Structure 1
Amino acid sequence: MQKFCYSLFLTLLAIGAWAQPASSAKYAPTAEENALLWEISGKDLQQPSYLYGTIHMIGKEDFFLTDATKQGLEKAQQIAFEIDMEDMMDFTKLMPLMMKAFMANDTTLSDLLTEEDYALVKEHFEAVGLPLMFLERIKPMFLSALGGEDMFNMGSGEESQVVSYEMELMQMAQQRKLPIEGLETAEFQMSMFDSIPYTVQAQMLVESIKSGDTGDGQFAQMVELYKNQDLQGMQAMMADEASGIGGYEDLLLVRRNRNWIPVMGKMMVLKPTFFAVGAGHLGGDEGVVALLREAGYVVKPLK
C-alpha cells in the first residue's frame, strides 16, 4: 500500500515531465541562461521570489542543492510545489485519489492489448514482484510509473537509493515551519489522465517497457544534464521522449503552465515564495520562465 502511494505521488509529478520544443521566442531562456534556479522580481513585488526546476527522482549520490538555492529557500516565507506535498503524504487524502487510479466500466489491461503485448507487460511486472492479476484494472499511465524498479523502491526506508527533490525540499520547509502550497490540486492532475484514451495509455505503457533496455542510460544522461544545470539539454532530451504522448502536450504541459502564472502572481504578492516544479516546465516559449516574463516580471537565472 505504501509503495503504491509513493508511486501515485510520483506519477502525478511526472505528468509534466515532458518539455515543449526549444524556441527562439524573445521571452524564452537562452543557452547562456541555463540554470535551475531563477529569481522573480519586478511588477508588483516588494521582495523577490524564486523558481526552481526539479528532477523528480535522483540517486542519493547525485542529489545536490547549490548555495544559491539554499539561500533562496532561506529568504522565502512559503514554498509551493505543483501539488500540495503535505496532502500527498496524508493517506486519508490519498485514498479517494487511489480509487481514481482504476479504469471505468470494468475495463482491463487485457482488453486494450494484443496477446503479445500483454505477455510482455505481464513478464515485466512479475520481474519487479508485481503479479499483473492484481493490476488489471489500473490505468496504464499509473502502471508506467508503478513498474519502474527505481519508482517501486521509492519510500522503502533506509534501503532506498533514490530520493525525490520534492520530498527533500518539503522536509527542509517543514523544519523552518514554512507554509506549503500547491499550484494545482491532485484531483485536477488526476482528471488529465481521463482525457487520454485508455488505448493510448496502454500503448505508451508498452513502448516504455520496450525502451526499458536503454532507460538506465537515458536516466543517467538526464541526471548529468541536470547536475550541469543544462536546461536546454534537458529540454531537448525530454522533447525527444515526449513523442509518445502524441497530441497531448498542450493538455499535459502548456495549459498547466499558463494556469500557474496568475496563481504564482497572487502568492508572490502576499509573501516571497519558493516555487519548485519539474524542470521540464521551465524552458521554451510556453515555459514558466517565458510566461512570467511575458506577464511583466523580471526573471533572471542564478547559479
Structure 2
Amino acid sequence: MKSVFKRPLLFFPLFFIVLQALTAQTSGGVSADGRSLLWEIKGKSLSKPSYLYGTIHLIGKSDFFITEATEKAFGETQRVAFEIDLEEMGDFSTLMPLLMQSFMKNDTTLSDLLLPEEYSAVKAHFGKLGLPMFLLDRIKPMFLTALDPRLWRPGEAEEETVSYEIEFLRMAQEADKPIDGLETAAFQMSMFDSIPYRVQARMLVDMVKGNPEEAGNQEFQQMVELYKNQDIEGMQGMLGADKEIAAFENLLLVNRNRKWIPIMEKMMSEKPTFFAVGAGHLGGPQGVVQLLRDSGYSLTPLK
C-alpha cells in the first residue's frame, strides 16, 4: 500500500494544483534506445509536427531537468496543452466549485468510514500538522492523503520541489502561447467519487500508520531514477505492479488516454501543439504513445 501515494505524481496533477492554489542538460537528437520523455508527432496530414512530453508533477529541484531538444520543441509549437487548463486554476470562480467537490457526498464523514481507533490515529496525525478534524471530517480521504507534506519530499524534507507543469506554464506565458487542457478540472475531481470512500479511507489509514519518509523513499527514488533515465516503460511497469493502482487502472489511465486521442488530433490539426501530461500516461500498450501510433501517427523519441 505504501507506494500508491507516490505514483499519482506521474498522472494525477490535482493532488497538488488545488492545494498549491490555496496556500542536467543533454544535446538534441533521436533517442537510439526508444527511451524518452519527449516524442515528436508527425503524419496524418499534419503540416507541422506536434510534441508529447511526459511530466512528473513534483520533483526535487536537484533532479529537475529540461533538455535542449525539449526547449527546441517547445519553441516550435504554437500552443501548450496540459491535462487540464492550468490558467483556469488561478481563477477563483473556477477554484471554489472544485473545492466544494472535495467534500464527500450524502453527509458522509470519516468517522462513518473508520474504526474508532483508526479515527483517533487520523485525528492525532492531522492534529500534529495543525489541522483540527472538524475542518477535515467531510473531506474525501484521498484529498486528505495529499495534505501530508511527507509525501512530497520523501527523505529530503528540506529540498525544494519543482513542478514541470508550472515551469511549462511559465514558459508558455512568457512566450505568449495559448494554454489548453485535455480534460476539465471538474472531471479530474470527480474521479475521487469513482473510488469508493472506504477504499480511500483505507489508503489514508495506511498512510497515517506508516512512514512515507522511510517506507516509500526507496521506491520513490526508484521512480525518480526511471524518470531521469526517461524510461516511460519502466514507469508504466511500476504503475502496473501496484495492486491499488491496477484496480483503478481503467479509471485513472486507460479510459482517459483513449478520450484524449481525438482531442489531441483536433488540436494538432489546428496548430502545432506541445502536450505535457503525466509520464504514467505515455508507456504501455494503452499509453498515449501507442494509441497515437494506432491512430496512424508517426511518433519518434527525442533526447
Match of 2:27 in 1: none
Return closer, same or farther for 1:263/1:10 CA change in 2, 3 Å cut-off: same
> 2:53 and 2:17 mapped to 1: Cα distance?
14
The separation in 2 between residues aligned to 1:136 and 1:13, in whole angstroms, is 21
* Deviation larger for 185-194 or 37-46: 185-194
**Residue 19 (structure 1) aligns with:** none
Pairing 1:1-303 to 2, within 5 Å after superposition: 10-11=14-15, 32-149=33-150, 151=152, 161-209=160-208, 210=210, 212=212, 213-241=214-242, 243-245=243-245, 247-303=247-303
Letter in 2 for 1:11: F
Deviation of residue 83 (structure 1)? 0.3
* Aligned length in residues: 274
Deviations 1:207-247 (A, max 9, x none): 33436231233222211221111222222222233x11453
Deviation at 1:9, TM superposition (A): 5.8
Q: Deviations over 1:27-82 (max 9, x none)?
A: xxx99311100000011211000000000001112111011111110001000000
Does the 8 Å CA contact 2:40/2:301 hold for their aligned counterparts?
yes
Can you list the C-alpha shifts for 1:230-266, whole angstroms capped at 9, x where unaligned?
A: 222222222233x114532111110100000000000
TM-score by length of 2: 0.84
Gaps in structure 2 of 5+ consecutive residues: 1-11, 19-30
Q: Contact 2:42–2:298 (CA<8 Å) still a contact in 1?
A: yes
Whole-Å separation in 2 of the counterparts to 1:269 and 1:65: 26
Residues 73 and 214 of structure 1, relative CA distance in 2, 3 Å threshold: same
Q: Distance in 2 between matches of 1:201 and 1:256?
A: 20
- Alpha-carbon distance change, 177 to 300 in structure 1, aligned in 2, over 3 angstroms: same
Contact kept? 1:39, 1:50, Cα under 8 Å: yes
Aligned partners of 1:148 and 1:221: how far apart in 2?
A: 20
Query: 1:32 aligns to what SS in structure 2?
Result: coil
SS at the partner of 1:107? coil
2: CA distance between counterparts of 1:9 and 1:96?
A: 17
* Amino acid aligned to 2:222: Q
CA distance in 1, matches of 2:164, 2:142: 22
Given the superposition, is the C-alpha separation of residues 204 and 52 from structure 1 closer, same or farther in structure 2, using an over 3 Å criterion?
A: same
Identity of matched residues, %: 59
Q: Answer yes or no: is the 8 Å Cα contact 1:73–1:274 preserved in 2.
A: yes
Given that 2:35 and 2:229 are in contact with CA atoms closer than 8 Å, whether structure 1 keeps it comes out as: no
Match of 2:28 in 1: none
Given that 1:183 and 1:260 are in contact with CA atoms closer than 8 Å, whether structure 2 keeps it comes out as yes
Matched to 2:105, the amino acid is A
Cα deviation for residue 198 of structure 1 reads 0.9
SS at match of 1:51: strand
Pick closer, same or farther for the CA change 1:211–1:294 going to 2, 3 Å: farther
| CA displacement 1:11-34 (0-9 Å, x = unmatched) | 1779xxxxxxxxxxxxxxx99311
Runs of 4+ in 1 over 3 A off after TM superposition: 148-152
Alpha-carbon separation, structure 1, partners of 2:274 and 2:291: 17
The amino acid across from 1:168 in the alignment is E
- Could you list the per-position Cα deviations for residues 118-158 of structure 1 after superposition, in whole angstroms to 9, with x for gaps in the alignment? 23322332333323332110001111111233659xxxxxx
- Residue identity opposite 1:179 in structure 2: P
State the Cα RMSD in Å. Answer: 2.3
SS in 1 for 2:112: helix
Quick check: 1:284–1:290 contact (8 Å CA) kept in 2?
A: yes
CA–CA distance in structure 2, aligned partners of residues 234 and 129 of structure 1: 35
Residues 239 and 245, structure 2, Cα contact 8 Å, conserved in 1: no
- How far apart in 2 are the matches of 1:137 and 1:31? 51
Deviation at 1:160, TM superposition (A): 7.7
Cα separation, 2, equivalents of 1:36 and 1:133: 43
